[in-house]
């Protein structure tokens, strides 16, 4: 009990979320846990009712960025899985946690709009509030 | 690379802080970190309305808390395989926890939540939420064993 075996790290590819990801990688490496990295491509709910496909181009870019990130992560944790989701970040993070039977979620606390470091972003707030499993929050390194 | 030297675990003697304790102690063992347990005795929230208790009752209450904290310390030491310290503070729990984290230069704070099923589950428990919001170091919010069902 207390040993984390399936870690889920959420990233938005920002510098602010690096400390959380780095920590997840360190814990996974040091404890031998599986690591899943999830990125949520956030699109508004009305994106799927337009005549032009707005989602695919965005998701493609996100997938490319995720793949690049995974190359670096797999140098340290070879068995890392990457997951790209489209939708609302906090919902998708919790969905992936369920799918991957994670026992720990790690994410940064920063807001997506680069808000001052004293505040907490709504994604972290929602995930911490609603997660049925432990959550580890990590501040961004942004000096302030 | 992972450098958790000092871990602070907040306990309120609830089921979820029992989980927090297990995680904290396991992490302390795994990473060779020094573990401190903190329990914060709540001070009355309404200014000027402090009920004056006879000193014996207060002492009794403090003694009971010290005993409980000690029981939890012993349990933590079994899991952590190393000595564990304790701190009994008084005041506003999130404030005292964050304060202790900062002054003690802890690398990680571990806390439980008071989350319950149903509507209660939407309320994280203001202590955990405030600690997450205000602590400068990483915060691990532990929970009672996975509750995927609703």
pLDDT along chain B (150 residues), means of 10: 86 92 94 95 67 78 95 97 96 94 95 63 69 93 68
What is the structure's pLDDT at A112? 67
- The fold for domain A6-138 equals Rossmann fold (3.40.50)
**What strands lie across the sheet with B108-111, from one edge to the other?**
A81-86, A34-41, A6-10, A104-108, A135-138, B139-141, B108-111, B6-10, B34-42, B84-91
* Whether B131 contacts B138, CB under 8 Å: no
What CA–CA distance (Å, rounded) separates B60 from B66? 10
Q: Kindly state whether residue B66 falls inside one of the protein's structural domains.
A: yes
What CA–CA distance (Å, rounded) separates A77 from B127? 34
User: Is pLDDT of A122 > 50?
Assistant: yes
To the nearest whole Å, the CA of A63 is away from the closest chain B CA by 28
What CA–CA distance (Å, rounded) separates B89 from B101? 13
CB contact under 8 A, A23 and B138: yes
What is the structure's pLDDT at B100? 96
Q: Kindly state whether residue B27 falls inside one of the protein's structural domains.
A: yes
Q: Taking all residues of chain A, what is their mean pLDDT, rounded to a whole number? A: 89
To the nearest whole Å, the CA of B51 is away from the closest chain A CA by 34
User: Is pLDDT of A39 > 60?
Assistant: yes
Mutate to test the interface with B, among A7, A135, A142 (most CBs of B within 10 A): A135
To the nearest whole Å, the CA of A64 is away from the closest chain B CA by 28
Q: Kindly state whether residue B133 falls inside one of the protein's structural domains.
A: yes
Report chain B residues whose CB lies below 8 A from the CB of A102: none
Average pLDDT over residues A57-69: 96
**CB under 8 A, 24+ apart: contacts of A111-115:** A112/A12, A114/A16
Supply the DSSP string of B8-61, one letter for each residue: EEE--SSHHHHHHHHHHHHHHHHHT-EEEEEEEEEPPSSTT------HHHHHHH
| Percent of chain A at pLDDT exceeding 90 | 68
Total count of domains within chain B: 1
What is the structure's pLDDT at B129? 87
DSSP letter at A133? S
CB contact under 8 A, B141 and A27: no
Q: Kindly state whether residue B148 falls inside one of the protein's structural domains.
A: no
Which range marks the domain in which residue B135 is found?
6-42+53-141
Q: Kindly state whether residue B31 falls inside one of the protein's structural domains.
A: yes
Name the pLDDT band for A67 (thresholds 50, 70, 90).
very high
CB contact under 8 A, A132 and B2: no
CB atoms within 10 A of CB A53: 11
Q: Kindly state whether residue B48 falls inside one of the protein's structural domains.
A: no
Chain A to chain B, count of Cβ pairs less than 8 Å apart?
71
Report chain A residues whose CB lies below 8 A from the CB of B132: 109, 120, 124, 128, 137
What is the structure's pLDDT at B117? 47
Name the pLDDT band for A51 (thresholds 50, 70, 90).
confident
Name the pLDDT band for A143 (thresholds 50, 70, 90).
very low
* Whether B34 contacts B60, CB under 8 Å: no
Name the pLDDT band for A132 (thresholds 50, 70, 90).
very high
Name the pLDDT band for A94 (thresholds 50, 70, 90).
very high
Report chain A residues whose CB lies below 8 A from the CB of B124: 128-129
What is the structure's pLDDT at B57? 80
Phi, psi (rounded to 5 degrees) for B62:
-65, -40
User: Interface pTM (ipTM) of the complex?
Assistant: 0.89
CATH of the domain at B26: 3.40.50.620
User: Is pLDDT of A141 > 90?
Assistant: no
Q: Coil, strand, or helix at residue A59?
A: helix
What is the structure's pLDDT at B55? 77
Q: Coil, strand, or helix at residue A8?
A: strand
Q: Kindly state whether residue B120 falls inside one of the protein's structural domains.
A: yes
User: Is pLDDT of A87 > 60?
Assistant: yes
Both tokens of A17, joined, read 């979320």
| Percent of chain A at pLDDT exceeding 70 | 90
Any idea which of A89-93, A139-143, B3-7, B131-135 has the lowest mean pLDDT? Answer: A139-143
What is the structure's pLDDT at B51? 65
What is the structure's pLDDT at B121? 47
* Whether A58 contacts A43, CB under 8 Å: yes
CB contact under 8 A, A129 and B79: no
Name the pLDDT band for A115 (thresholds 50, 70, 90).
low
Q: Kindly state whether residue B131 falls inside one of the protein's structural domains.
A: yes
Any idea which of A65-69, A96-100, A112-116, B37-41 has the lowest mean pLDDT? Answer: A112-116
């Amino acid at each position: 009990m207390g040993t984390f075996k399936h870690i889920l790290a959420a990233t938005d590819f920002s510098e602010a979320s690096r400390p959380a990801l780095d920590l997840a990688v360190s814990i996974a490496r040091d404890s031998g846990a599986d690591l899943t990295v999830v990125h949520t491509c956030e699109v508004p709910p009305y994106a799927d009712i337009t005549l032009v496909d707005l989602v695919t181009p965005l998701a493609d870019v996100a997938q490319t960025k995720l793949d690049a990130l995974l190359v670096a992560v797999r140098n340290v944790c070879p068995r890392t899985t990457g997951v790209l989701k489209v939708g609302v970040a906090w919902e998708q993070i919790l969905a992936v946690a369920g799918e991957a039977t994670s026992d720990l979620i790690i994410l940064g606390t920063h807001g997506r709009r680069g808000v001052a470091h004293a505040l907490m972003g709504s994604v972290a707030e929602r995930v911490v509030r609603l997660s049925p499993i432990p959550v580890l929050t990590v501040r961004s390194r942004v000096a302030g | 690379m992972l450098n958790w030297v000092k871990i602070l675990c907040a306990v309120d003697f609830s089921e979820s802080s029992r989980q927090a304790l297990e995680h904290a102690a396991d992490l302390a063992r795994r990473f060779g970190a020094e573990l401190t347990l903190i329990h914060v005795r709540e001070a009355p929230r309404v200014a000027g309305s402090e009920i004056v208790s006879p000193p014996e009752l207060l002492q009794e209450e403090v003694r009971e808390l010290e005993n409980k904290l000690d029981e939890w310390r012993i349990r933590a030491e079994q899991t952590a395989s190393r000595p564990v310290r304790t701190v009994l503070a008084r005041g506003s729990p999130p404030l005292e926890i964050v304060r202790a984290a900062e002054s003690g230069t802890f690398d990680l704070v571990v806390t439980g939540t008071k989350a319950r099923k149903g509507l209660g589950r939407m309320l994280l428990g203001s202590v955990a939420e405030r600690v997450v919001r205000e602590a400068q170091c990483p915060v691990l919010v532990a929970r009672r064993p996975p509750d995927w069902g609703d």
